[in-house]
């Protein structure tokens, strides 16, 4: 039974070292020593007293209850900056695999002392954030980074958003953490010191792609095997499983690698194997995978792409990116990514178009005019002074009907 008198709601800091288990005994010993020094000095320089922290130790990290007064804005702000600077100095002359790199998570909640450390929903929550896929991927995607910070939604909403911390809200990227097997679902906000937030967003959000054909035609047989999958292989990334042409993009292909090199590979393969195919590629970015997939499919099937494809009798590739992808990826430019090659379709606020091979996308085919309605009219007259009009075909807006006149009156 827990002792209710030991109940506390406190700030929690979870830390884990990168690739600890791959190091030999001496390397692990040196890493633990460096980690202890790094945390102590960063805390002291940010106005915290690490001697007061309550700890649940692990060889490659720790869970700490930070009991200092006003700890939350300090830990989620200046402490992270001080720690990143310390790690930068420490790692400067080390081989890449010898560097000390960290995953951190910060949360605030109920904690209860237990026989092996601390129990409660809050220690579980902060540990899940620290170990989340997005946080792990950030260290792999950005090898130049010394640490990755994830803060829980209460920390972000309570401290960061209201500017109580040295880090601004714009420094963070929202991610959804989902571990169905452990029944854990949460929102976290991720910050990677030294990396532009838009780059983080491009890599940690879900990028999705959808491929559609002009006139909603069915994909040609072998299109995925001869175009989509080889395009992934050509840029050195494993293709998504299955043959579905709406899919999540692997994290390794995030950002300009997707909108640049991969698109060019798709274009080259489609031209070689399906020269008459008219293809629209929709690209979307969203925190939620389902939303990203749905938006990518909507973009690929949208009217602006269809009108551009309708303007050509043979093959053409049209790329349609969401507003978010344009802001986060395209606007930065990069290898084979030219922001000036995109344009926003007239009357469309949520997407940007590009036609590979054109410096500026061509004008789309004009929307077809509605067909004019026609009808026959028969006019019959009688009498000496009447004039026979006869029969004819009239186009709207003429009134259609029969006219009959009898007698001598006009």
Domain edges within the chain: 4-203, 205-354, 374-405
Mean local confidence (pLDDT), 209-237: 92
Is the distance from CB of 189 to CB of 263 less than 8 angstroms?
no
Over the chain, what is the mean pLDDT?
A: 85
In this structure, what are the phi and psi dihedrals at residue 97, rounded to the nearest 5 degrees? -75, -10
> What pLDDT does 92 receive?
94
Say if strands 8-17 and 102-114 run parallel, antiparallel, or are unpaired: antiparallel
Is the distance from CB of 259 to CB of 330 less than 8 angstroms?
yes
Q: Topology of 205-354 in CATH? A: Alpha-Beta Plaits (3.30.70)
pLDDT at 226 > cutoff 90:
yes
Is there a common fold for 4-203 and 205-354? yes
Q: Which residue has the higher pLDDT, 187 or 151?
A: 151
pLDDT at 391 > cutoff 60:
no
In the structure encoding, which two tokens stand for residue 406, read together?
């009898």
CATH node for 4-203? 3.30.70.1230
Pairwise CA distance, residues 372 & 243, whole Å: 44
Question: What end-to-end distance do the CA atoms of the chain give, in Å?
Answer: 108
| Cis-peptide, bond into residue 397, ω within 30° of zero | yes
Nearest one of 148, 147, 155, 149 to 122, comparing CA atoms: 155
Q: Which residue has the higher pLDDT, 245 or 332?
A: 245
pLDDT digits (tens, 9 = 90+) for 86-136: 999 999 999 999 999 999 999 999 999 998 889 999 999 999 999 998 899
Say what the pTM is.
Answer: 0.60
């Amino acid at each position: 039974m827990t002792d209710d008198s030991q109940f506390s709601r406190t700030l929690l800091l979870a830390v884990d070292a990168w690739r600890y288990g791959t190091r030999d005994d001496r390397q692990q010993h040196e890493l633990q020593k460096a980690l202890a020094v790094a945390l102590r000095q960063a805390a002291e320089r940010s106005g915290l007293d690490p001697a007061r922290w309550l700890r649940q130790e692990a060889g490659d990290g720790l869970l700490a209850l930070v009991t200092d007064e006003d700890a939350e804005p300090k830990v989620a702000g200046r402490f992270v900056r001080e720690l990143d600077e310390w790690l930068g100095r420490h790692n400067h002359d080390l081989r890449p695999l010898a560097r000390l790199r960290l995953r951190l998570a910060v949360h605030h909640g109920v904690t209860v002392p237990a026989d092996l450390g601390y129990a409660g929903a809050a220690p579980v929550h902060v540990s899940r954030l620290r170990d989340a896929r997005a946080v792990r991927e950030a260290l792999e995607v950005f090898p130049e980074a010394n640490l990755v910070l994830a803060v829980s939604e209460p920390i972000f909403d309570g401290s960061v958003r209201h500017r109580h911390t040295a880090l601004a809200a714009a420094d963070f990227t929202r991610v959804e953490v989902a571990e169905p097997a452990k029944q854990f679902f949460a929102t976290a906000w991720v910050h990677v010191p030294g990396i532009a937030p838009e780059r983080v967003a491009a890599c940690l959000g879900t990028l999705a792609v959808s491929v559609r054909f002009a006139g909603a035609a069915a994909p040609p047989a072998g299109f995925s095997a001869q175009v989509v999958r080889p395009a992934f292989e050509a840029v050195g990334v494993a293709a998504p499983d299955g043959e579905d042409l709406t899919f999540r993009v692997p994290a390794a292909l995030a950002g300009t690698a997707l909108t640049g090199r991969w698109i060019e590979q798709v274009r080259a393969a489609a031209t070689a194997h399906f020269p008459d195919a008219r293809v629209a590629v929709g690209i979307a970015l969203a925190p939620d995978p389902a939303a990203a997939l749905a938006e990518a499919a909507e973009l690929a099937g949208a009217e602006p792409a269809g009108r551009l494809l309708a303007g050509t009798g043979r093959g053409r590739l049209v790329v349609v990116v969401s507003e978010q992808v344009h802001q986060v990826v395209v606007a930065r430019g990069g290898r084979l990514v030219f922001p000036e090659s995109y344009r926003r379709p007239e009357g469309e606020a949520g997407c940007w178009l590009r036609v590979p091979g054109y410096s500026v996308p061509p004008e789309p085919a004009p929307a077809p005019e509605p067909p004019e309605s026609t009808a026959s009219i028969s006019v019959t007259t009688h009498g000496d002074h009447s004039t026979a009009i006869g029969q004819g075909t009239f186009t709207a807006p003429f009134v259609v009907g029969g006219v009959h006149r009898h007698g001598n009156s006009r």
